[in-house]
Amino acid sequence: MPILFTDMKIVKTIQEMQALSEDLRKEKRIGFVPTMGYLHKGHLSLVKKARELGDIVVVSIFVNPIQFGPTEDLSKYPRDFQKDATLLEEEKTDIIFSPDSKEVYPEGYSTYIQVKELENYLCGQSRTGHFTGVATVVAKLFHIVKPHFAVFGQKDYQQLRIIEKMVKDLNMDIEIVPYPTVREKDGLAMSSRNTYLNPAEREKALLIYASIKKVEELFKKGQRKASTLRDEAMKVLRSKDGVDIEYVSICNPDTLIEVDQVKNKALLAIACRVGKTRLIDNIILMEA
Ligand code: PAF
């Protein structure tokens, strides 16, 4: 039995969403949070931010098939629309835009957005085509939802940078609002993928945050050599079996290019596999 939501509208078609937004944006500031659903507190904090800054909050729930690689199982991506909708109503969301795949990518669809350079680093090295999929769907969602601003989490730092660059390069009249990573009490960055971790894996996943804290501590003590900071992070990650490091990068936060020495600020970004689950986290190291 579907639950009925009194004040929140659920929109399935592009035509209806565009018409609604066209009308609303004449007098109201529209804030937008794009998601793939299976919402956790991290997502909800983005929605809260949009609620604080805007008059109308639109959240999209769309599991975007074109950002999944051939080895990444789209059909296994967790979904729970009723729960998501209940959580979003509690956050006073005005509109959920939840199209199906054929609505977004009808037969013959052939236009893609590639943000060159930035997609080559960090996660882009192993997830070929992922960021083209992300940039394409976000551009489409921006054209459909027509927001004044959109909120993106810093947990997916490379995604955030790519969206910022796309908006700048394509002169999109949309403000991108970054939001800090939300963590569990023990430091694990919130992610829909955390639900894949069994208790032993979840324990091991805490090494990611422990390695970040270690680097932060060394940085605060004056260490600026990137290779030393990287090695220390790796040491922590390797202190227990079962954490497979994909990368530990100390890079320029704008270009994502690795640095030798941290001057003013740098991004520490980590990707690991714990069991079958790929986890990412990052922090900005900044001179006080
Ligand atoms: O971060 C996500 O959940 C997705 O990459 C996004 C931005 C909703 C695009 O599908």
The residues, any chain, with a CB within 8 Å of residue 50's CB and separated by 6 or more, are 31, 32, 33, 57, 59, 149, 151, 177
pLDDT in tens, 225-264: 999 999 999 999 999 999 999 999 999 999 999 999 999 9
Residues 233, 158 within the same domain: no
> Do residues 84 and 62 both lie within one domain?
yes
Residue 141 shares a structural domain with residue 44: yes
Which range marks the domain in which residue 108 is found? Answer: 3-179
> Which CATH number fits the domain that encloses residue 217?
3.30.1300.10
Q: For the sheet containing 243-251, what is the strand order?
A: 243-251, 265-274, 277-286
CA distances from residue 91 to 200, 221, 255 in whole angstroms, order as listed:
33, 41, 35
- Residues with pLDDT less than 70, the chain: 1-5
251 and 273 in one domain? yes
Q: How many residues does the chain have?
A: 288
The alpha carbon of residue 253 and the mean position of all alpha carbons in its chain are separated, in whole angstroms, by 16
157 and 89 part of one domain? yes
Check 40, 43, 130, 143 and give the catalytic one.
43
Name the domain boundary from 179, 202, 222: 179
The reported pLDDT for the residue numbered 73 is 85
pLDDT of amino acid 107: 98
- For atom 5 of ligand 1, the residue with the nearest CA is 134
138 ligand 1 Cβ < 6 A = yes
Last residue within a domain, chosen from 179, 211, 235: 179
Tokens of 246: 């994909």
The pLDDT of residue 4 is 59
**Mutation test of ligand 1: which of 62, 154, 159 has the most ligand atoms closer than 8 Å to its C-beta?**
159
* Structural domain includes residue 286: no
Q: Burial, 35: exposed, middle or buried (Cβ in 10 Å; 0-12, 13-18, 19+)?
A: buried
Instruction: Give the whole-angstrom CA distance, residue 92 versus residue 8.
Output: 8
> Is the same domain home to 24 and 53?
yes
Instruction: Locate the ligand 1 atom nearest the alpha carbon of residue 34 and give its number.
Output: 8
Nearest CA to ligand 1 atom 9: 134
Q: Please indicate, yes or no, if residue 185 is contained in any of the structural domains.
A: no
What is the model's pLDDT at position 3?
56
The CA-atom distances, in angstroms, between 49 and each of 46, 144, 179 are 5, 21, 8
CATH number (domain holding residue 63): 3.40.50.620
CA of 199 from ligand 1 middle (Å) equals 26
Amino acid (one-letter) located at 98: S
User: Quick one: 124 and 211 in the same domain?
Assistant: no
Please indicate, yes or no, whether residues 244 and 147 belong to a single structural domain of this protein: no
Judge if 31 and 129 occupy the same domain. Answer: yes
- Whether 43 sits among the annotated catalytic residues: the reply is yes
Percent of the chain with pLDDT over 70: 98
| Residue 171: inside a domain | yes
Atom of ligand 1 nearest to the CA of 67: 10
DSSP 158: H
Q: Ligand 1 pocket, 36 CB below 6 A?
A: yes
pLDDT recorded at residue 6: 76
From the CA of 134, give the closest atom in ligand 1.
9
Within-domain flag for 287: no
In 3D, which of 36, 27, 33, 38 has the Cα closest to residue 50?
Answer: 33
pLDDT at residue 79, rounded to an integer: 95
154 lines ligand 1 (CB under 6 A): no
155-167 pLDDT per residue, tens:
999 999 999 999 9
In a domain, 187, yes or no: no
